[in-house]
Amino acid sequence: MKILKSQKQIRQNVSRIQAPYDEIFLKTKKLLRHDIAPREKRMEILLDFSELLADASMNKQPPEELFPDGFDSFYAELVSGIPSYSAERRVKKMKNLAVVCGVLVVLTLGILLSYSGILGIWIEGLPSIAGNLNQYDYHLGTISEEYTFTIDLEDLESNAGKIVYHEINEHGEEFTIRIKSVYQDAHFRPYSISFISEGSYNMQGAKLISAVSHYSTSSRYFSKDVVAELYCIDGDIKYDCRVRGIDGLKRTGDSFGYYLPIEVTDKYDSITLTFTNLAVNIWNRK
């Protein structure tokens, strides 16, 4: 109640303050809020000071007479001996302000990045672009060249990581297909081979070279089909490898696998395989 009464009296005094004392009052009020900790003390000082300025305004007393040693000297004497904010508290206030500003900056950046699509691409990668048919067009091409490589059936683990396709374009973007593993299930006779493909993406679009074509509808329903053929030749006979499975798009690419023909794997310790008709998945910004 005491503070409310003081505020009412201060407002009454302020209504009588004229230039240039109105600016001096506002300046003093701002300084007191920064320097003086107890609110009641601030109100007491402002009440007395507003009365002083109101009387000076009424008597048309110039500031030079009211503050003969200057305002800064007057203010220092005005607040001397009154509890002020400690340096530690001021630092704490500045830290809290910095935290609030930091949070606001992060939130603003998050909103801007989300709106621009950068956030989705950064988090999801290729699926974010492939599923956004409002901003990107999809094109499917194929590579006519064949790519041949050999795998070791005696040491299956040695095949992991072997690169079967590698390209670096004029922009320095890299495209690879490598062997993930060659294995034989305990309950199945055929050997299996799995691959991982990795492409490139940015705000302008994406590109992925794989055995699989990827397409999505406006509702982000992804469809995928094996386009590339994997085969091996034994003498004059060509053996096609049956598709074992395919996965959807991941952040940087996809994965797929084939069964190896037992007619060949039963005869040799190593076999040569060939990829043909690899798929070139391209998404261009509209």
Average pLDDT rounded to a whole number, residues 70-79: 77
Listed by start position, the domains of the chain span 2-79, 87-116, 122-285
Q: Are strands 200-202 and 163-168 parallel, antiparallel or unpaired?
A: unpaired
Q: Is the pLDDT of residue 91 over 70?
A: no
Amino acid code (one letter) for 90: R
Higher per-residue confidence, 261 vs 133: 261
pLDDT at 239: 97
Residue 207, SS3 per DSSP:
strand
* pTM for this prediction: 0.60
Which two tokens mark 60?
Answer: 């048309």
Name the least confident of 27-41, 148-162, 165-179: 27-41
125: phi > 0 → left, psi -120 to 50 → alpha, else beta; which?
Answer: left
Q: Is the pLDDT of residue 116 over 50?
A: no
Q: Are strands 229-234 and 270-276 parallel, antiparallel or unpaired?
A: antiparallel
Higher per-residue confidence, 5 vs 201: 201
What SS3 string covers 266-283? CCCCEEEEEEECEEEEEE
pLDDT at 43: 77
Q: Is the pLDDT of residue 165 over 90?
A: yes
Residues above pLDDT 70, as percent of the chain: 80
Q: Which helix (H) or strand (E) holds 113?
A: helix 87-116
Q: Is the pLDDT of residue 50 over 50?
A: yes
Most confident of 4-18, 110-124, 171-185: 171-185
Q: Which residues contact 217 (CB under 8 A, 6 or more apart)?
A: 133, 223
Here the contacts of 99-106 (C-beta below 8 Å, separation 24 or greater) are: none
What SS3 string covers 144-161? CCCEEEEEECCCHHHHCC
At 232-259, the pLDDT tens digits run: 999 999 999 999 999 888 999 999 999 9
Cα separation, 99 vs 152, whole angstroms: 58
Higher per-residue confidence, 266 vs 215: 266
Cα separation, 186 vs 268, whole angstroms: 20
Place 30 in a pLDDT band, splitting at 50, 70 and 90.
confident
pLDDT at 106: 54
